[in-house]
Amino acid sequence: MGAPELIFYDELPEKQLQGLMHGNILFLFINPTEYHGPHLPLANDYIISRGLAARLAPRLIKAGLTEKFIAAPLINLGLDPTPGAGTIATSAARFDTYLAQFARKLPLIGVSRVIVMTFHGAPRHNHAIQRFIDRLASAGISALNPLNLLLSRMLTYKPGDFAAALAPVKDAKAREQLSAHLGHDYHAGFFETSLTLALAPQTVDPSYTELPDCPEIEIPAWQRAAIHGIKSLGQASAARELAFAAEAMAWLNLEPFPGYTGMPRYANRKSGDIFVNEILDIYEEAVRAVFVDGKAAPQPELSVTDFLSGLAGL
């Protein structure tokens, strides 16, 4: 089966939409424009999301879950994007208001199932998307954000997970380092750069092979002590989330700010293809669970971090 054509419903007359949406899943792309280091494009989250969707859609068509590959108008917004000259930020209030319009409008054109495609991992971003998904449910639309499952895998990462994707890295020492730190490689590093090389290699600047590794990220001693104290009280999940938040803030405060984590110079297309296939397996299983088995949509992680970000007005 050849790749299905991507149909954007806003490129069609409105009178065609009711018939178009019958029996089909709607892909809704929600991603910010943000700095992804000197080597990846500002729209990298969308580029990955679209590449994954283009490979997921044929699976769903083959399984009889949808007939066409249909997308809503692009939403090029997201909360807490990585700072940079080309980054476009938005407020939480504006983001919620914008998404609420879709929650009201999608039922009017016959939408019944939605897959939100985002690759932006900021906690507030994905919690805001979950509020949107809850609004859709109130309007009778079943929806999910499968990235939540991938973020959960990264948050609970243990060395050895995704081992097959590291095998193409020939340098044994580098492979060991990547394995040890892959769970912390959350932005424009080996993981994301490999994905982009697999999905849209023409968008990656060749300079990625010459980039120095991201400097060691050090969490201040008082934060480490607080995290240890919370963990000692039996709150392992909250401690893990706070450790992630502390590390992310320490990364943002690096000077000069690299805009990427980990070791992007070892990124390669073979690793990216393996990552893509593992992600697609996770996504397809989630789609079946929600749309076929009637299970609840996967929930976002990092609730504590989402709350603290809101208090800080980030």
Q: Let me know if residue 68 belongs to a domain.
A: yes
Q: In terms of domains, do 143 and 282 share one?
A: yes
Q: Specify whether 79 is located in the same domain as 122.
A: yes
User: What is residue 309's predicted lDDT score, i.e. its pLDDT?
Assistant: 53
Number of domains in the chain: 2
The number of beta carbons lying within 10 Å of the beta carbon of residue 237 is: 16
Same domain, 136 and 19: yes
- Give residue 267's domain range: 157-272
304 shares a domain with 260: no
- Residue pair 120/32 in contact by the 8 Å Cβ criterion: yes
15, 101: one domain: yes
Does 237 fall in a domain?
Answer: yes
Rounded CA-CA distance 105/255 in Å is 45
Is the domain of 146 the same as that of 255?
Answer: no
Question: Cα(first)–Cα(last) distance of the chain, in Å?
Answer: 45
Query: Is 131 within the bounds of a domain?
Result: yes
Q: Say if residues 299 and 147 touch (Cβ distance below 8 Å).
A: no
| Domain membership flag for residue 207 | yes
At 312 the pLDDT is 43
CA dihedral 144, 147, 148, 151 (to 10 degrees): 180
> Mutual orientation of helices 303-312 and 123-138 as an angle, nearest 10°?
110
CA nearest to 74, candidates 31, 36, 38 = 31
Whether 217 is covered by a domain: the verdict is yes
Q: Of the candidates 113, 102, 88, which has an alpha carbon nearest to the alpha carbon of residue 34?
A: 88
pTM, 2 dp? 0.94
pLDDT tens for 189-242 read: 999 999 999 999 999 999 999 999 999 999 888 888 888 888 888 887 788 888
Instruction: Tell me, yes or no, whether 31 lies in a domain.
Output: yes
Report the distance separating Cα 107 and Cα 70, nearest Å: 15
- Residue 248 and residue 298 in one domain: no
CA 189/CA 213 separation, integer angstroms: 9
For residue 65, the domain's CATH number is: 3.40.50.10310
Nearest 5°: the CA angle 276, 124, 32 is: 55
In degrees and rounded to multiples of 5, residue 160 shows phi and psi of 115, -25
pLDDT values of the chain reduced to their tens digit, one per residue, 314 residues: 578 999 999 999 999 988 999 999 999 999 999 999 999 999 999 999 999 999 999 999 999 999 999 999 999 999 999 999 999 999 999 999 999 999 999 999 999 999 999 999 999 999 999 999 999 999 999 999 999 999 999 888 999 999 999 999 999 999 999 999 999 999 999 999 999 999 999 999 999 999 999 999 998 888 888 888 888 888 877 888 888 889 999 999 999 999 999 999 999 999 999 999 999 999 999 999 999 999 999 999 866 555 445 544 44
Provide the greatest CA pair distance for the chain: 61
Residues 27 and 71 sit within 8 Å (Cβ to Cβ) = yes
Are the beta carbons of 71 and 30 closer than 8 angstroms? Answer: no
Please tell me whether residues 24 and 86 are part of one structural domain: yes
Examine the domain organization and report whether 100 and 165 are in the same domain: no
Together in a domain, 224 and 166: yes
Alpha carbons 130 and 88: distance in angstroms, whole number: 22
Residue 1 lies in a domain: no
Does one domain contain both 26 and 122? yes
Together in a domain, 38 and 83: yes
